[in-house]
Amino acid sequence: MKTLRWLASQHQSHNRWLVLMTLLFGVLFDSISWSSSWGIAFPDLTPLILLYWVMALANSNFLLTAFFFGILHDVLYHTGLGTYALIYCLLVYPMLHVRLQLRNKTLLQISLFIGVWMLAHQLLVWLITPANHLAGQNIAFWLAALVSALLWPLIFMILRTLRRNAHIR
């Protein structure tokens, strides 16, 4: 019985790599250069993927993951070290409080909720990173929140399929 339990835990920790891989994919996708300034209307995938895992895996708090991927984002985007780490932590922490209630909502309601959450993300980015004060004058920068809400069902479906196939709980 003990061996079985140990094997189960190994299997689970092995599957946690998938969580990190999806987040790494998000960082990779975010670092792709967009040729048009309308490209900034496409939201960062990393916070969206992070929010999905926070909601889906209610047994972890993901604060360290948020911090680590924030630092990675800072190096990639030449923002001050710790800036995005702070933004991601500020984004994840309130989500930890509401994630259990969110499970009873419909996908459409969660999408709207994600839109509001990503608006807060854009607001934090605009307030904390001086270089983005200029980006804030562009409507496309704020549209990213709306696009996040529209994209959420797709992201949700893909990640849920991955999670179910990998038996991540």
Contact set with other proteins (CB under 8 A)? 24, 27-34, 36-37, 39-40, 55-59, 61, 63-64, 66-67, 70-72, 75-83, 85-86, 89-90, 93, 96-97, 100, 103, 130-132, 134-135, 160, 169
Residue 95: name the closest of 73, 124, 62 by CA. Answer: 62
| Residue 108 Cβ vs other proteins, minimum distance, rounded to whole Å | 15
Comparing CB distances to other proteins, the nearer of 57 and 119 is 57
The one-letter code for the residue type at 136 is: G
Q: Report the nearest approach of other proteins to the CB of residue 146 (Å).
A: 19
Distance CA 31, CA 34 (A): 9
CB 101, min distance to other proteins, A: 11
d(CA 136, CA 95) in angstroms, rounded, equals 24
3-state secondary structure 149-165: HHHHHHHHHHHHHHHHH
Looking at the Cβ atoms of 44 and 118, the one nearer to other proteins is 44
